[in-house]
Amino acid sequence: MSTKRVAVVGGGSSGLACIKTCLEEGLEPVCFESSDDIGGLWRFKENPESDRASIYHSVIINTSKEMMCFSDYPIPAEYPNYMHNSLIMDYFRMYADHFQLTKHIRFKTKVLQVKQRPDFSRSGQWDVETENSEGERETKVFDAVMICIGHHCHPHLPLHEFPGIDTFKGKYFHSRDYKTPEVWRGKKVVVIGIGNSGGDIAVELSRFTKQVYLSTRRGAWILNRVGDCGLPLDMVITRTLKTIQNILPFNTFCSIAERRLNQRFNHSLYSLQPKHRLFSQHPTVNDDLPNRILSGTVQVKPNVRKFKDSSVEFEDGTVVDDIDLVVFATGYTFSFPFVASHVLPVSNNKASLYKYVFPPGLERPTLAVIGLVQPLGAIMPISEMQARWATRVFNGCNKLPPMAAMLKDVKYKEEAMAKRYVTSQRHTIQVEYVDYMDEISAIVGVQPSILGLLLKDPKLAMSLMFGPITPYQYRLRGPGNWAGARQAILTQFERMAKPMKTRPSDIPDAKRSLTRFLVLSATTMGLAAYYTRSYFPNILQDLTALLDRMKVYLPGQ
């Protein structure tokens, strides 16, 4: 039987994962990348390219290296925990070189059309038409297609919502066109949108400009990259904590977390506190925004009512004159123009996909969309897990359920998302990192078995229960298991600490205290869940009293 050929559209992080998983499953990948390099979103270019995401020079990722790496290739220990985009590119190149992926990529080749063959109901094959940099077109037959173009495709610039913008005398552009702050020294700037890009750009500009006004409709809860005990925030989240989150009522868990955030700084005092709950919106991660507000270089304002000449009027009636620049950090929309709309329909920034991967209406499951999610966590391990599943579907090792069951799952996820999140175009592809990884890994057969490990390898089991939920966990067993996964898990805190150990010190290593912190955190939250569910629902009116009652159960009391 001949080897199945798979077309991979896009050479970013998702595309690299797809090439590798195809090779692991005995498939022949051919990746089409329209630019001249790998990296996708994370490759900085001074001049943005059409229909491609573009980042600014200073971008640093919001997920830590141990949580964002591919599951069988840890990021070097000496790399910082939160990496600059240039280091992310270095990691992608190391990954591509190590697994010899680049030879499977056709650079400067644009996919024009992905079309079902006449015998698709029998063969499941696709005609893929491409065009190279010389304008030469060709069409090849593929047994399957993996689309990896992400969701930062087209800038969302809703100018119709801002009366007078056509008469505005200053300059305005979408955040994708922002690159560096120096050219705006001494100017007055309005940034519209308080997502991660809006917050970062406002902070960076505020170090050079005369004044920055950060305009937000709803406000936002602000998370810090630096968690308790100085750990990266996403390494504090454990399986035990996630279990407790699932036990506690949604509003209760939000209340506890919001109280913690307000202990760092009062969101209401800083004009940031929204009406929605913490976990009802994709969070904004920004370590510096509170300081810039406190120092007055950033002022938080409500939504813009209208523009007039060089003035901006906000919905609270305040007017700011002599504005030089407006940055619209208003997000992106996605589309798949090379695929027929009846094959892969997109409406209101929403694609109805089975578990965010497979179109449920196809006669043959040979088309997969990889990386079309916005996780509360890292995207790279999720794309990799999706690719591991998709390639096993392509080669027949995994089967999809009947169409009715897939449509039911799609509907359930859409309803759950609508119930939890505030209405927004960005809240159409939200997933919880751990829940989603466990869901897909269970299908593939690689979900870690903690109960089994408690008997065979208790040290490893404790790391899985009380340590960070790093991607290595999904290489411990099943298809594609990696012999180095156990060691990678047991040494993850060493790699986390390595880049910070830059000065000789006689102070004992803090490894034990970190472990104790994670266990105590889980214990505290567990007792909170126990009390909430069983005995003292009214105590939630005073969380301080709740913590006082729990102290007797904690070690050392």
What gap in Å lies between CA 290 and CA 43, rounded to an integer? 29
What gap in Å lies between CA 354 and CA 407, rounded to an integer? 7
Which contiguous run of DSSP H or E holds residue 388?
Answer: helix 380-394
Q: What is the DSSP string of 121-176?
A: HHH--EEEEEEETTS-EEEEEESEEEE---S--EE---GGGSTTGGG--SEEEEGG
pLDDT at 348 over 60: yes
pLDDT at 522 over 60: no
Structure tokens that stand for 432 in this block: 């919880």
Q: What are the tens digits of pLDDT across the range 134-180?
A: 999 999 999 999 999 988 888 999 999 999 999 999 999 999 999 99
Q: Distances from the Cα of 90 to the Cαs of 36, 63, 83, 84, in angstroms?
A: 16, 16, 10, 10
pLDDT at 514 over 70: no
pLDDT at 26 over 50: yes
DSSP state for residue 182 in the 8-state scheme: G
Q: Which residue has the higher pLDDT, 379 or 49?
A: 379
Residue in the block written with tokens 């995207």: 379
Q: Which residue has the higher pLDDT, 298 or 539?
A: 298
Phi, psi for residue 213 in degrees, rounded to 5: -110, 120
pTM comes to 0.90
Q: What are the tens digits of pLDDT across the range 307-328?
A: 999 999 999 999 999 999 999 9
Percent residues over pLDDT 90 in the chain = 81
What gap in Å lies between CA 81 and CA 60, rounded to an integer? 10
Q: Distances from the Cα of 83 to the Cαs of 86, 89, 91, 329, in angstroms?
A: 8, 10, 10, 22
> So what's the pLDDT on residue 544?
46
pLDDT at 532 over 90: no
> So what's the pLDDT on residue 531?
43
> So what's the pLDDT on residue 282?
87
> So what's the pLDDT on residue 545?
45
Mean pLDDT (whole number) for 81-92: 98
Confidence bin at 540 (pLDDT 50/70/90): very low
pLDDT at 537 over 50: no
Q: Is 287 in a helix, a strand, or coil? A: coil
Instruction: Residue 540: count other Cβ atoms within 10 Å of its Cβ.
Output: 18
> So what's the pLDDT on residue 131?
97
pLDDT at 547 over 90: no
- Segments in 431-550 forming alpha helices (H): 433-444, 450-456, 458-466, 485-490, 492-497, 511-534, 543-550
What gap in Å lies between CA 41 and CA 53, rounded to an integer? 5
Beta carbons of 347 and 353 less than 8 angstroms apart: no
pLDDT at 187 over 80: yes
> So what's the pLDDT on residue 422?
86
Q: Is 9 in a helix, a strand, or coil? A: strand
> So what's the pLDDT on residue 519?
55
Confidence bin at 48 (pLDDT 50/70/90): confident
Q: Is 411 in a helix, a strand, or coil? A: helix
Beta carbons of 158 and 330 less than 8 angstroms apart: yes
- The mean pLDDT value of the chain amounts to 91
The neighbouring-strand residues paired with 154 are 333
> So what's the pLDDT on residue 549?
41
3-state helix, strand, coil in the chain (%, to 5): 40, 20, 40
Q: What are the tens digits of pLDDT across the range 231-241?
A: 999 999 999 99
Q: What are the tens digits of pLDDT across the range 412-471?
A: 999 998 899 888 776 788 899 999 999 999 999 999 999 999 999 999 999 999 999 999
Confidence bin at 523 (pLDDT 50/70/90): low
> So what's the pLDDT on residue 1?
67
> So what's the pLDDT on residue 145?
98
pLDDT at 340 over 90: yes
Confidence bin at 518 (pLDDT 50/70/90): low
Q: What are the tens digits of pLDDT across the range 118-139?
A: 999 999 999 999 999 999 999 9
